[in-house]
Amino acid sequence: MKIIYEYSHLGGTEILKVRYPEIDKEITDIISKINAQRLKISKEKTMPGKELFSPKDMNLQFKKYFNKAGYKELRDTYKITIPNYKKEIPGVFKQIDFVKENVLVEVQFGKYAFMFYDMAKFQYFFNENKADLGVEIVPCHALHKQMSTGVSYGEQLVYDIERLKRHFPAVPVKIILIDID
């Protein structure tokens, strides 16, 4: 796969390049190793029988390469309690797929809400002083058109963050849009 666009929110790209240049290079190298394949046969009404790129296969490849490079999962488990409410909900967690040093990395081939939720998770771990920045790797619009319906695309995420200005997320983020070679 290849990187076709990078967006820096609150200096995310610059922090990565200056403070974590090895991690920046590793992320770029891992993206270049991903071999997207049309392994999914669509059963959707809008494109029956069409061969689509498989998010599941790409996620497995990302996991293999990030784990091989020493990235680990980050998970915070806690109990939910809210004011003036007696019920407690134990065993709830926030989780990031890939973390190295204080750099959080998420690869998202899901619905748009999950891309935006990744921003909230970056904010959570940043506020907990467990992260300096987040990196979100997402498909570009052209790749999204060759995947199942429901998969979102990075241009929408960048567009929305631009309109929120500096208010959300209030954490440095680098967003990477990827496409097939």
Fold of the CATH domain 2-179? Restriction Endonuclease (3.40.91)
Q: In the predicted model, what is the mean pLDDT of the chain? A: 93
pLDDT value, residue 85: 96
More confident residue, 123 or 167: 123
Task: Give the C-alpha separation, 96 to 118, whole Å.
Answer: 8
pLDDT value, residue 146: 86
pLDDT value, residue 90: 96
pLDDT value, residue 45: 72
All structural domains of the chain with their residue ranges: 2-179
CA-angle at 172, arms to 70 and 32, nearest 5°: 45
Nearest one of 125, 132, 120 to 172, comparing CA atoms: 132
pLDDT digits (tens, 9 = 90+) for 23-63: 999 999 999 999 988 878 767 677 777 788 888 999 999 99
Nearest one of 83, 82, 62, 81 to 73, comparing CA atoms: 62
pLDDT value, residue 32: 97
Side-chain-side CA neighbours of 59 within 13 Å: the count stands at: 9
Q: Is the pLDDT assigned to residue 150 strictly greater than 80?
A: no
Query: What order of strands is seen across the sheet that includes strand 89-100?
Result: 2-9, 173-179, 133-139, 103-107, 89-100, 72-80
pLDDT digits (tens, 9 = 90+) for 112-137: 889 999 999 999 999 999 999 999 99
pLDDT digits (tens, 9 = 90+) for 55-86: 899 999 999 999 999 999 999 999 999 999 99
